[in-house]
Amino acid sequence: MYKSKIAGIGKYVPSQVVTNKDLEKLMDTNDEWIQERTGIKERRYAHRTQETTATMGVEAAKIAIERAGITAQDIDFIVFATLSPDYYFPGCGVLVQRALEMKEIGALDIRNQCSGFVYALSVADQFIKTGMYQNILVIGSEKHSFGLDFTTRGRNVSVIFGDGAGAVVLQRSNNNISEILSTHLHSNGNDAETLAMYNPGTHANYWKKDLADFNEATLGDMFMSHTMIDNAQNFPFMDGPAVFKKAVVKMPEVIMEALQANNYTTQDIDMLISHQANLRIIQFIQHTLKLNDDKVYNNIQQYGNTTAASVPIALCEAWEKGKIKEGDLVCLTVFGSGFTWASALLKW
Ligand code: UT7
């Protein structure tokens, strides 16, 4: 069995900064509420026509590939995680393959939302462990700004999310220092509708006949109807407090699972990179695990919640700032729609 390591990491965030004050002009919200409840001060929004989820992923990937000391031609496989793909299909992976003029390698898209990057990393890790591939490009990227409800109706969701991308090259490890030690993936579909974007979809209210926003009259015989758009049913739905309550339980749990699987304790963690969903959630986890401030890196204040991109962007930034060094024990953890949650423990 081979081992894998992160050989290169990159991030890309659009240049357009959107502050809480900017959002105040669009909806009934305020800087104080957003900062107090989430920690977010500002986020980035992609250029409407010049940047897409795939192009941002490509920019992050170029940096990761260069830092790995290889070329796009050396990549054997692509795993792309996003909930905001350029097209409903095909996935973004093939757009990266085309943009980087790669060989005709496999491209897999992952749809695990906020947990997407760790799920993607885990898939890539298994391919390297078995010896099938040597260099895998793993990307998390989101262009949320294209699909949010910027009226007061959508304020509990729209103020949280931001755009951006992160990427790593996962490579067969030839040293005894750097490696992915283990990944731990979980799901529980009982809460599938608690954080979801129902449309476009083929559900026809099959799963939740009692959804407040849905009735027979709004159902078309297509997966997207004019009525759905007129009723703003094409935006994400989130029961924030319900997600919050599960996240603060499941993330510490899955971190402990990773530590125990490798005979470590919380005090062995050099750096915890959590999904950047809400600063209060991360502070709760930090408190539960009794981790010092220098063992946790957060950047939700600047970027908001970038879903599948949040962990690789934070990991990249922490490394760029010299907060992660070779051999450090790094723990990644995520929680999101599904619900799905996961962790990864690695030696940097
Ligand atoms: O990344 C995927 C995983 N997602 C998460 O982990 C998100 C987890 N949940 C959360 O982060 C929090 O639940 C939120 C930040 C989404 C919301 O914070 P909260 O403290 O749970 O607030 P709430 O939803 O209970 O709403 C409290 C009040 C409500 O008003 P009333 O009913 O008390 O009058 C909301 O209508 O805050 C109101 N509100 C807002 N006010 C100003 C909701 N959104 C806003 C807003 N600005 N943007």
Per-residue pLDDT tens digits of the chain, which is 348 residues long: 999 999 999 999 999 999 999 999 999 999 999 999 999 999 999 999 999 999 999 999 999 999 999 999 999 999 999 999 999 999 999 999 999 999 999 999 999 999 999 999 999 999 999 999 999 999 999 999 999 999 999 999 999 999 999 999 999 998 889 999 999 999 999 999 999 998 888 888 788 766 645 555 555 567 788 878 888 889 999 999 999 999 999 999 999 999 999 999 999 999 999 999 999 999 999 999 999 999 999 999 999 999 999 999 999 999 999 999 999 999 999 999 999 999 999 999
Nearest residue (by CA) to ligand 1, atom 16, is 240
pLDDT at 230: 84
Among 21, 37, 112, 306, which is best to mutate for testing ligand 1, by the most ligand atoms less than 8 A from CB?
A: 37
Task: Give 71 Cα–ligand 1 centroid separation in angstroms.
Answer: 44
- Model pTM score: 0.96
| 275 flagged as catalytic | yes
Is residue 115 one of the residues assigned to a domain? yes
Of 92, 114, 316, 331, which is the active-site residue?
114
Answer yes or no: do 152 and 281 share one domain.
Answer: no
Boundaries of domain holding 116: 4-172
Looking at the 3D structure of the chain, how many domains does it have? 2
CATH no. for residue 101? 3.40.47.10
pLDDT at 279: 98
Q: Is 150 in the pocket of ligand 1 (CB under 6 A)?
A: no
Answer yes or no: do 158 and 253 share one domain.
Answer: no
Q: Is 299 in the pocket of ligand 1 (CB under 6 A)?
A: no
| 234 flagged as catalytic | no
Answer yes or no: do 187 and 145 share one domain.
Answer: no
Answer yes or no: do 147 and 185 share one domain.
Answer: no
pLDDT at 210: 65
Among 156, 194, 303, which is best to mutate for testing ligand 1, by the most ligand atoms less than 8 A from CB?
A: 156
Is residue 144 one of the residues assigned to a domain? yes
Q: What does the angle CA 294 – CA 298 – CA 302 come to, to the nearest 5 degrees?
A: 135
